[in-house]
Amino acid sequence: MHHTNDPNLKSFIPVPEGSHFPIQNLPYGVFRRGNSPKRIGVAIGHYVLDLSVLEEAGFFSDLGRDVFSHSNINPFLGLGWRAWRKAREIISRLLREDEPALRDNTKIREKAIIPINQVEMQLPVDIGDYTDFYSSKEHATNVGTMFRGKENALLPNWLHLPVAYHGRSSSIVVSGTNLHRPRGQAKPDNQNRPEFGPSHLMDFELEMGFFTGNGNPMGVPISIDKAQNHIFGMVLLNDWSSRDIQKWEYQPLGPFLSKNFGTSISPWIVTLDALEPFRVPGPIQEIEPLPYLRSGGNRAYDIQLEVFLQGKNMDKPHSISVSNLKYMYWDIFQQLAHHTITGCNVRPGDLMASGTISGPAKENYGSLLELTWRGAKPIPFPNGETRKFLEDNDTVIFSGWCQGNGYRVGFGEVKGKLLPAIKESL
């Protein structure tokens, strides 16, 4: 175990019990305070540590260049895993309760440590390309069963490779950003022609995403054994979906308008170094993958996930699903190795999404499509309402965390409200 993951470490900044952001975490984000420029920080308890202040004071001179004075973390991502680890070591040391360098420097401390409720979180990365995988066997089986029957639930390629499609990065938004119900073509089962209008079958998809680091030259794949060195960290991700638009458009090339109107991510990127103590064995792969996809050891992460839904007439969010990233059949290292096996070059700040994360039991399903089984089994709520799919002004919240010995490494939350469709066009 790396010393920054020591469960006995304590910060001089108070961290409440159960906080997602103890000293063992130190996730990266970008924030704005009032009208000031965007700044890069890490979360610690109920505070944000402004890394640009620490960089100006010379604490990151070992990195060899200024990387925290920018409006996003892309330059830092481009430095690679050795710089990421060095920065984590420096930040961890500065925050330790027995380290005076920051603790006893009142001038720097007052500039660098800001209450988290006084800042507005921003997208942490200037996202280049976005790829969405389809890597949960339970989810793929559920959806395949609904639309093709149990015998043909998984298509022939699914157990041999991580299926994916390229998504739209311009509509990726940070938690707290509300989205409008999309309009598009859909064909009801009882009609011969499609109709145009607001989607009637709006859904969420419980996913996680990872950001790539320094990448690879075009033509040179990233091997499964080196993939970890090219993944900076992970976020929670809601890949909002229109099921009726998707059903009509997805054959033969897959989702398009049913996904491109918005994808939400949590603001804090939890690094792989922080997640290292929570690696666990992944599911047994039924068919041995081809050599470039074979990986040994603990290739999954024990990240507990929960979905909450709150309608406009509900007094609080209600939990409707619990799942775990460890259920994923294809892991993040296989996903990156497969993505680049052709020589495709990934760049600092590219985002890869896991695909919907479903588990073996109904309460582990990661979408309303599965939880209500295409609307046939509506979810009841305490106020008497039910849901088959999302209604206007419904708020969806994902939370995720890893449980350590006396501490929790968490992702905070990704939250968004579905607003009514906009009828006007530019």
* Active-site residue set: 139
Instruction: Enumerate the β-bridge partners of residue 396.
Output: 309, 416
Distance in angstroms (rounded) separating the CA atoms of residues 249 and 350: 26
The answer to whether the beta carbons of residues 27 and 411 sit under 8 Å apart is yes
* CA–CA distance, 217 with 292 (Å, rounded to integer): 18
Q: 354 near 235, Cβ under 8 Å?
A: no
Tokens of 373: 């089984």
DSSP type of residue 257: T
Owner of token pair 């680049």: 340
CB 332 within 8 A of CB 350: no
- 3-state SS assignment for residue 108: helix
Query: Which sign does the torsion angle of CA 368, 370, 375, 380 carry?
Result: negative
Longest CA–CA span in the chain (Å) reads 73
Could you tell me which residues come within 8 angstroms of residue 399 by beta carbon, excluding any fewer than 6 positions away?
A: 236, 305, 306, 308, 410, 411, 412, 413
Residue of 139, 102, 125 lying closest to 321 (CA atoms): 139
Q: Would you call 302 helix, strand, or coil by DSSP? A: coil
